[in-house]
Chains A and B, each alone.
Chain A
Amino acid sequence: MVLSAGLAAPAAEPEADLDMEALEAEFAGAETASDLENPKSPLTMYNRAMFKFNDKLLRWVFKPVAKGYNWVMPRPGRQAVQRFFSNLGYPVRGVNNLLQGKFRQAGVETARFGINSTIGLAGFFDPAKSKFDLEPSNEDFGQTLGCYGIGAGPYIVLPVLGPSNLRDTLGFAADVAADPAPKVAKHNDYGREWRIGRGFGRLNSTSLFVEEYEALYDKALDPYVFFRDAYTQRRAAQIKE
């Protein structure tokens, strides 16, 4: 029945049958989160310049390296490395779940860490998800602040790290400060190895998203606004959850 309409859809359907106000409001509401920027404001000019810098860094430095890395390391291997580093992020996720009153999720995270660190072979595998149906929950301090009702503040593009806002930048700093992994490594005289490992983790995650990033970038009318808006929408949804 739907097929019969075919390609020759009527050119101008009148919107009389639609609640246009509700539809307009649905999308106009989102704009409070990702508002217009004055192109001449210093922050916007900085953001656009930094966005461009990050893009070149990704395309000219990280991507060629990631390409070579992809060649020696197949995708499943890269996903395993990603899981390993993600597993190490447990303390920060656990704490933020607790701070947001998500006690059940905090318990799930703890169980995930226990299972994946042992039978998941130090986190390279995720039997907690595949065997026990324990889904990960990505909570960070930026989301905790948002959950407490603190607004996003202005949008900020961070060097290398990319899209953020004032609240999430502070949150990120807190997450880094709270992360025990580098302290444990340093205490055991593995500080240097940790930093190398961390850099390797970055390269690994870059290798997993660079192609998708490029496709989105190249298709966008204004890539800067596209990523600004996508980041803002995604963070708002994560905080609401």
Chain B
Amino acid sequence: MPIRPFSVMIMLFVLLAVTPCRADQLADEAGKFLRETIEKVMQLLRTEDVKTPEGRERVMAVINPAFDFELMAKLTLGEHWRRLSPEQQKEFVDMFVAELRESYLDKSKEFADSALTFETPSTLGGGRVQMAVQVDSKGEKLKTLYKAVRRTEWRVYDVEVQDVSIVSSYRSQYRQFLNDKGVEALLAEMRQKRPPAAAGAGR
């Protein structure tokens, strides 16, 4: 009889020790990756001159491996992706990735001096994790949300700014464009919108 409460305690202890389940671990891992990446990018942006190609390259060297730009490109096309020829796919991905990379860098630069608050990450299923990051820029609060997926390394596949998802907003534009005008017209439009050959240099 006197042993009973003790064994119950041991059982509880064992249970508690086991509870940090896989989902939490996944979220923690992704949270750590996101936090480190974002802080590193912000820190670099405070010191590097992004108007020079060299400075830009150094920031890009941190952004590039952390993002899965190709996956983002595919997600923005959705079911249309498979309808593109391999050449069209390649051209699309190249132009999309180039644009997204530059625009992420430019947008982040604006908030380099902001205070960041990282919230608790949560899992979305299928190896996906999201984490909200509050950006406090000169008294104005901006809500961002990073979404990452587990591959060999963690990779960001979408960012939301004030509830607007980057992938979704490209996706709806491409969908409407493809529906109205077709693939060739889309590629032609993207070629035209593309910054001059000196992409990467200060614009």
Contact = CB atoms under 8 A, between A and B. Distances in A.
Contact of A26 (B124, B127, B152, B169): B124
Contacts of B120: none
Given A5-B153, A15-B71, A23 B168 contact: no
B87 interface: no
Given A18-B151, A22-B125, A229 B62 contact: no
A220 B173 contact: yes
Interface in A21-66: 21-24, 26-28, 30-31, 34, 36-37, 39
B173 A2 contact: no
Interface string B131-150: 00000000100000000010
A220 to B, nearest CB: 7
B173 A222 contact: yes
Nearest to A130: B139
Interface residues of B, number: 46
Contacts of B149: 18, 23
B65 interface: yes
Q: Which of B162, B163, B171 has its CB near the most chain A CB atoms (within 10 A)?
A: B163
Given A5-B153, A7-B61, A234-B164, A23 B173 contact: no
Interface in B149-168: 149, 151-153, 157, 162-165, 167-168
Interface in B43-71: 57, 60-62, 64-66, 68, 70-71
Q: Which of A5, A27, A225 has its CB near the most chain B CB atoms (within 10 A)?
A: A27
B128 A23 contact: yes
A27 B64 contact: no
A34 to B, nearest CB: 5
B152 A17 contact: yes
Interface residues of A, number: 41
Contact of A234 (B74, B157, B162): B162
B176 A238 contact: no
B27 to A, nearest CB: 16
A230 interface: yes
A225 B61 contact: no
Interface string A107-143: 0000000000000000000000000000000000000
Contact of A13 (B151, B163, B167, B170): B151
A55 B64 CA distance: 35
A13 B149 CA distance: 14
Given A18-B149, A233-B165, 14 more contacts: A2-B66, A2-B153, A6-B65, A13-B68, A17-B152, A22-B126, A22-B128, A24-B78, A36-B179, A79-B139, A221-B177, A222-B173, A228-B172, A237-B163
Interface of A: 2-7, 9, 12-13, 15, 17-19, 21-24, 26-28, 30-31, 34, 36-37, 39, 79, 219-222, 225-226, 228-230, 233-234, 236-238
Chain A to chain B: the 4 pairs with minimum beta-carbon distance, closest first:
A19-B126, A22-B126, A237-B163, A5-B65
22 contacts: A5-B153, A6-B64, A7-B64, A12-B70, A17-B152, A19-B125, A23-B71, A23-B149, A26-B124, A27-B78, A27-B171, A30-B168, A36-B179, A221-B173, A221-B174, A225-B173, A226-B169, A226-B173, A229-B164, A229-B168, A229-B173, A233-B164
